[in-house]
């Protein structure tokens, strides 16, 4: 593998590998902080205004907001975002959600820890940590919410409107998760974790079509975006409903 800054960037249905072109796209989409960071072989993706780091090495810099799927973090400042997996060597994690990964040194100042291994890391008392049992209870509760929402989107079309009491009206704001300091995290539910961690892209579910997997991926990225587009989220949920209905 070459020692380039970027391995690739996925954006608008295309894959870019030229460094100048990737820099140009990042700057155009206001991700200048990534251009300024010290990185190697980064495999990136931009979807709905959200920067997704899929793999690579982060040497130093300031990460402002995005989704970290996997890779190695050497040092730097993490301002906010969602950490799904990877190796953290050292640095400051200011806010965000950690699902899993191995953290060697550094400090975590705020946010939520839902899993992971922490060796010599200073964890501030403001950080919400879940034990295995506590997180399992939270996870089961969120799964129930997701199942109820799935039932709502899979209801057959009838002449009369189908009313599901567990689904809030479109003009009603969904309640934020407790103890999450940033409003942008209110859409982070177990639904995303299930697809990213347990069945990434639905690969271990043979009954899902490629179209359903892609729609689920788009929905996850939308829910993780800096400013979630509620209209687009509803539109993709409708498409998922049609896909599920047509498969039967």
Mean pLDDT of the 58-72 span: 97
Cα separation, 245 vs 209, in Å, equals 12
**Residue partners of 95: CB distance under 8 A and separation at least 6:** 79, 80, 109, 110, 111, 181, 182
Per-domain boundaries in the chain: 6-129, 132-247
Cα separation, 10 vs 127, in Å, equals 33
Residues in the chain: 248
Residue 150 has pLDDT above 50, yes or no: yes
Residue 132 is encoded by which pair of tokens?
A: 């295995």
Helix axes 132-153, 230-247, angle to 10 degrees: 70
In this prediction, residue 194 has a pLDDT band, given cuts at 50, 70 and 90, of very low
Cα separation, 182 vs 215, in Å, equals 26
Residue 139 has pLDDT above 90, yes or no: no
The answer to which of 25-39, 125-139, 166-180, 183-197 has the lowest mean pLDDT is 166-180
């Amino acid at each position: 593998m070459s020692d380039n800054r970027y391995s690739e960037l996925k954006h608008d249905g295309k894959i870019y590998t030229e460094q100048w072109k990737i820099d140009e796209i990042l700057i155009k989409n206001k991700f200048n902080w990534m251009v300024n960071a010290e990185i190697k072989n980064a495999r990136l993706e931009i979807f709905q205004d959200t920067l997704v780091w899929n793999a690579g090495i982060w040497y130093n810099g300031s990460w402002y907001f995005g989704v970290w799927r996997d890779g190695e973090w050497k040092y730097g400042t993490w301002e906010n975002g969602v950490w799904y997996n990877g190796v953290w060597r050292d640095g400051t994690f200011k806010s965000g959600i950690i699902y899993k990964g191995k953290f060697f040194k550094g400090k975590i100042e705020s946010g939520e820890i839902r899993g992971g291994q922490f060796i010599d890391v200073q964890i501030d008392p403001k950080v919400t940590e879940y034990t295995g049992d506590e997180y399992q209870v939270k996870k089961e509760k969120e799964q129930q919410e997701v199942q109820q929402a799935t039932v709502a989107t899979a209801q057959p079309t009838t002449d009369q409107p189908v009313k599901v009491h567990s689904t809030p009206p479109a003009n009603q704001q969904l309640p934020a998760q407790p103890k999450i300091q940033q409003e942008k995290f209110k859409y982070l539910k177990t639904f995303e974790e299930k697809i990213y961690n347990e069945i990434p892209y639905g690969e271990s579910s043979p009954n899902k079509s490629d179209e359903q997997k892609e729609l689920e991926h788009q929905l996850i990225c939308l829910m993780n975006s800096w400013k979630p587009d509620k209209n687009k989220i509803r539109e993709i949920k409708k498409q998922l409903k049609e896909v599920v209905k047509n498969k039967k």
